[in-house]
Amino acid sequence: MEIKKAVITAAGKGQRTLSLQNIVDRDGEKKTALTILLEEVIESGIEDIGIIIHPGDHESYRAAAGKYSTRIELIEQPQPLGYGHAVYCAKNFVKDEPFLLLVNDHIFISSAEKRCARQLIEVAATENCSVSGVQPTHESKLPYFGAVGGRRIPNSDCLYEIQTVLEKPTPTEAEQHLLVPGLRTGYYLCFFGIHVLTPTVMTLLAEEVARNNGKGGIQLSPVLSKLCSMERYLALEIKGRRFDLGAKYGLLQAQLGMALSGKDRDEILSMLIELLSSKIS
């Protein structure tokens, strides 16, 4: 399976401006979060990038993309009918091809040689199926993420066969349906914010859109739950971290994560030590 297209969702009401903010990257260069995300995608081997935007946001996204503005295709989500609907808006863009899917309000920092998106793409290409990035996450953060249940693939320490998908489950629901042997107590496999999906997902989303008849609330997780009952669907524990720009202090955490993984790490650590040792009133 060859993955050459990526879709970035950026049309949500509380999401649309987050990737337009500036962050200093690992090399000390100030960039928009969108530019950093586009570099994640392009350096992972993606050729065509579609960004799902709110109507009227074309100019701001072209500007935020900077030198990559010619590499993107902007696709409007005409009505706010849910995250699943936003993904479906890229149907004509992806056609019948598998595609990489990312959210625009996250920054991804790899702890391995390969970028987070690249890790996922290589597994999907090898296994010839949909693969979602996941990260073991404490149950206190379940209200913020979709989560999966399943079993570890034999002879693998980071690959799982997905059997269940739930969107923002309660701890009780997670304990009943999402326990994965081998994970620490109180931890569950939550979505990382990056997926590689087969064309089957677009077919299932088309059915949801037709059934919904314009009412809204079309989500992706129920579709992914159907997917795992129809074809092989895996989860990869990504070697890296995700930073949600929309969370409280999210931009600060993303900036610190970026700085501490870059060339100015020692300078930033010294700055933090000095700040922590100072009395701030």
Contacts of 127 by beta carbon, 8 Å cutoff, 6+ apart: 232, 234
* CA 166 remoteness from chain centre: 16
Domain presence at residue 181 = no
Domain presence at residue 85 = yes
Which residue from 11, 7, 13 is spatially nearest to 38, judged by alpha carbons? 7
pLDDT over 70 for what percent of the chain? 99
Which residue from 195, 222, 198, 196 is spatially nearest to 208, judged by alpha carbons? 222
Q: Which residues sit opposite 191 in a β-bridge?
A: 134
Cβ neighbours of 111 (radius 10 Å) = 10
User: 103 to each of 70, 87, 252, 270, how far by Cα in Å?
Assistant: 20, 10, 18, 33
pLDDT digit string, tens, across residues 21-72 = 999 999 999 999 999 999 999 999 999 999 999 999 999 999 999 999 999 9
Tell me the mean pLDDT in the region 186-203.
Answer: 96
pLDDT at res. 19:
94
Q: Please give the Cα distance from 99 to 82 (Å, whole number).
A: 19
pLDDT digit string, tens, across residues 154-171 = 988 899 999 999 999 999
- What are the structure tokens assigned to 277, written together? 């040792």
pLDDT at res. 216:
83
Domain presence at residue 179 = no
Q: Please give the Cα distance from 233 to 162 (Å, whole number).
A: 6
Tell me the mean pLDDT in the region 197-211.
Answer: 95
Domain presence at residue 195 = yes
pLDDT at res. 243:
93
Domain presence at residue 173 = no
- State the DSSP code for 79: S
State the Cα torsion 234-237-238-243 to the nearest 10°: 110
Tell me the mean pLDDT in the region 186-207.
Answer: 96
Domain presence at residue 212 = yes
pLDDT at res. 238:
96
Query: CB–CB of 149/215 below 8 Å?
Result: no
Tell me the mean pLDDT in the region 119-144.
Answer: 95
Domain span holding position 23: 5-133+152-165+191-277
Provide the 3-class DSSP secondary structure of residue 31: strand
The total number of structural domains that make up the chain: 1
Domain presence at residue 171 = no
* Confidence at 280, pLDDT banded by 50, 70, 90: low
User: 118 to each of 31, 45, 110, how far by Cα in Å?
Assistant: 21, 8, 10
pLDDT digit string, tens, across residues 93-129 = 999 999 999 999 999 999 999 999 999 999 999 999 9
More confident call, 216 vs 90: 90
Question: CATH no. for residue 212?
Answer: 3.90.550.10
Cβ neighbours of 170 (radius 10 Å) = 12
pLDDT at 281 over 60: no
Domain presence at residue 141 = no
pLDDT at res. 39:
97
pLDDT at res. 78:
94
* Confidence at 181, pLDDT banded by 50, 70, 90: confident
User: 188 to each of 42, 177, 178, 222, 225, how far by Cα in Å?
Assistant: 30, 10, 7, 18, 16
Convert 241-265 to b/e letters by CB count within 10 Å (16 or more is b).
bbbbbeeeebbebbbebbbebbebe
* CA 96 remoteness from chain centre: 21
User: 186 to each of 176, 177, 227, 236, 237, how far by Cα in Å?
Assistant: 12, 13, 26, 19, 17
